[in-house]
């Protein structure tokens, strides 16, 4: 398990390097959420969730809870959109769970993380 990688992710969130105003600039939240739910993205997301998040005793991992909470609060503060904040929080929780399991070979989760690190919301 790579707790260090998850702690690095939390640090990046806390320092405002993952979620910024630019991440959400010009975003039509309804269209974005509809696109995520209707695309193959949603299927891939669920497969990764089943692979990683359910394999982790999420309730026992304080660092995962902290990542999810920070992502939710930052997204809500930047957008005022609680539904979007929930999606972003879920994404960061999934990324964190995969990091705990050294997910170096999970292409989908790596793409999620890369999107956020590049200041973009992920989409299929």
Distance of alpha carbon 89 from alpha carbon 94, whole angstroms? 9
pLDDT confidence bin for 15, thresholds 50/70/90? very high
Which pLDDT belongs to residue 8? 92
The pTM (predicted TM-score) of the whole model is: 0.90
Sequence ranges of the domains in the chain? 3-14+28-117
CA-only gyration radius of the chain, Å: 13
With beta carbons less than 8 A apart as the criterion, state whether 9 and 99 touch: yes
Q: pLDDT tens for residues 89-108?
A: 999 999 988 888 777 678 89
Per-residue pLDDT at 49: 87
Helices and strands (H and E) in the chain: how many? 7, 0
pLDDT band at 60 (very low <50, low <70, confident <90, very high): low
Task: Classify residue 89 by burial, with Cβ atoms within 10 Å: 0-12, 13-18, 19+.
Answer: buried
Distance in angstroms (rounded) separating the CA atoms of residues 82 and 76: 6
DSSP state of 83: H
């Amino acid at each position: 398990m790579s707790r260090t990688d998850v702690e690095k992710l939390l640090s990046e969130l806390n320092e405002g390097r993952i979620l910024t105003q630019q991440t959400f600039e010009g975003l039509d939240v309804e269209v974005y959420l509809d696109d995520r739910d209707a695309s193959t993205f949603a299927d891939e997301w669920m497969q990764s969730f089943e692979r990683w998040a359910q394999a982790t005793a999420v309730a026992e991992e304080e660092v995962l809870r902290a990542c999810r909470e920070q992502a939710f609060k930052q997204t809500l503060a930047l957008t005022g959109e609680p539904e979007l904040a929930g999606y972003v929080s879920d994404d960061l929780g999934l990324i964190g769970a995969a990091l705990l399991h050294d997910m170096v070979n999970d292409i989908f989760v790596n793409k999620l993380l890369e999107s956020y690190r590049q200041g973009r919301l992920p989409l299929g």
